[in-house]
Amino acid sequence: MQIFVNNPDFIVEDMLKGFVAAHPEVMLSPLNERVVTLKEKKEKVGVITGGGSGHEPAFLGYVGEGMLDAVAIGEIFASPPAQAFLDAMIEADNGRGVACLFGNYAGDNMNVKMAIQMAEDIEVKYVVATDDIASSPKETREKRHGIAGGYFMWKVGGAKAASGATLDEVIEVAQKVVERTRSICVGISPCTIPAVGTPNFLINEGTMEFGIGHHGEKGIESKALGTANEIAPEMTEAILTDFDFDENRNLAVMISGLGSTMLMEQYVICGQVLAILKEQGHQVEKVYVGNFVTSLDMGGLSLTIVDLDEEITQLLEADGQATGLKNY
């Protein structure tokens, strides 16, 4: 494995130093060098998230005006400790409470809840993203992981807070968009943790992992690698089946690369997905293509579909200036 690195054991620290040097609107918290926070504080509900490194621009890339106020950063694919979540809550708090919007993973769940218990003088409420349809059956949706669909929770929640909403209103709209979001990933090559230097799982040449997780968790099925025009319908149908719409809908569509997938490939898949949705009578209002939530250097991509309503659409269109927003 050839990468630009100093000591691979300290790649997260070096990344954070470079990130805050490149983006003067943010800084490392004086409370905790694993918390990225806005320099300029606003009188509003604070909005935070956190998670393991290796998914950039998530999570640090979504700190910005109209988005997140602070994030807790863990080691690669590892939850930040409870203290980091607590320090992010302290940084984001302006006396109006803090909304913690994070992905549904065991470590994050445990550490967020511990942090909330420690935050005695701060009102904190939380929402967990559960968009990964491959990680648990529809009957146990509450067990599903949060993947690229978390972007919509952060964007909508951040925009709602920026509008002057109460903590309960921020939580309500974040929960609503979570319930209306579905994602699925396809992996075609594994990722490599820098400190290890070799892939942490195997995808055989000529095969793909349909429904793979963001850390390399096995998917629904290992199968022969198909063409883009074969893969896109399968991903789209899996999500539409899970939604089980009884009428045509207004939708947002996101294609997010997993790390090493070219934009060229992402647009090939996107074109087919949009054609399928149009053919089935759905109206696609917003399209996102790029690297929004990645998995180190994994080859593959995720498809996310959001069932829009008027409020969600308006909040997605609200101003936001985080580095990971890609002008959306």
Domain 10-180 in CATH 3.40.50.10440? The answer is: yes
Question: Which value, to the nearest 10 degrees, does the dihedral of the CA atoms of residues 192, 194, 198, 201 take?
Answer: -30
CATH code reported for the domain at 181-315: 3.30.1180.20
**For residue 210, what pLDDT is reported?**
97
Q: Are 86 and 113 in contact (CB under 8 A)?
A: no
Please give the structure tokens belonging to residue 93: 């708090």
**For residue 316, what pLDDT is reported?**
97
Q: Are 227 and 265 in contact (CB under 8 A)?
A: no
Please give the structure tokens belonging to residue 168: 């309960």
Q: Which residues contact 324 (CB under 8 A, 6 or more apart)?
A: 57, 58, 61, 62, 151, 292
Enumerate the domain spans of the chain: 10-180, 181-315
- Say yes or no to pLDDT of 326 above 90: no
pLDDT for 75-90, tens place per residue? 999 999 999 999 999 9
pLDDT for 95-131, tens place per residue? 999 999 999 999 999 999 999 999 989 999 999 999 9
- Say yes or no to pLDDT of 328 above 90: no
CA distance 96 to 48: 13
**Residue among 145, 214, 215, 282 flagged as catalytic:** 215
CA distance 255 to 305: 9
pLDDT for 129-176, tens place per residue? 999 999 999 999 999 999 999 999 999 999 999 999 999 999 999 999
Based on the residue annotation, tell me whether 55 is a catalytic residue of this protein.
Answer: yes
Residues in the chain: 328
CA distance 146 to 103: 4
Q: What is the pTM of this model?
A: 0.97
Q: Are 291 and 228 in contact (CB under 8 A)?
A: no
- Say yes or no to pLDDT of 219 above 90: no
Residue 272: name the closest of 260, 289, 259, 258 by CA: 289
Please give the structure tokens belonging to residue 95: 């006396």
**Residue among 55, 145, 214, 282 flagged as catalytic:** 55
Based on the residue annotation, tell me whether 23 is a catalytic residue of this protein.
Answer: no
* Confidence grade of residue 200 (pLDDT, cut at 50, 70, 90): confident
Please give the structure tokens belonging to residue 8: 């691979």
pLDDT for 282-292, tens place per residue? 999 999 999 99
- Say yes or no to pLDDT of 295 above 90: yes
Q: What is the mean pLDDT of residues 7-25?
A: 97
**For residue 47, what pLDDT is reported?**
98
CA distance 304 to 151: 10
Percent of the chain past pLDDT 90, that is, above it, reads 93
- Say yes or no to pLDDT of 327 above 70: no
Three-state helix/strand/coil letters over the chain = CCCCCCCHHHHHHHHHHHHHHHCCCEEECCCCCCEEEECCCCCCCEEEEEEEECCCCCCHHHECCCCECEEEEEEECCCCCHHHHHHHHHHHCCCCCEEEEEECCHHHHHHHHHHHHHCCCCCEEEEEECCECCCCCHHHHHHCCCCCCHHHHHHHHHHHHHCCCCHHHHHHHHHHHHHCEEEEEEEEECCECCCCCCECCCCCCCEEEECCCCCCCCCCEEEECCCHHHHHHHHHHHHHHHHCCCCCCEEEEEEEECECCCHHHHHHHHHHHHHHHHHCCCEEEEEEEECCCCCCCEEEEEEEEEECCHHHHHHHCCCCCCHHHCCC
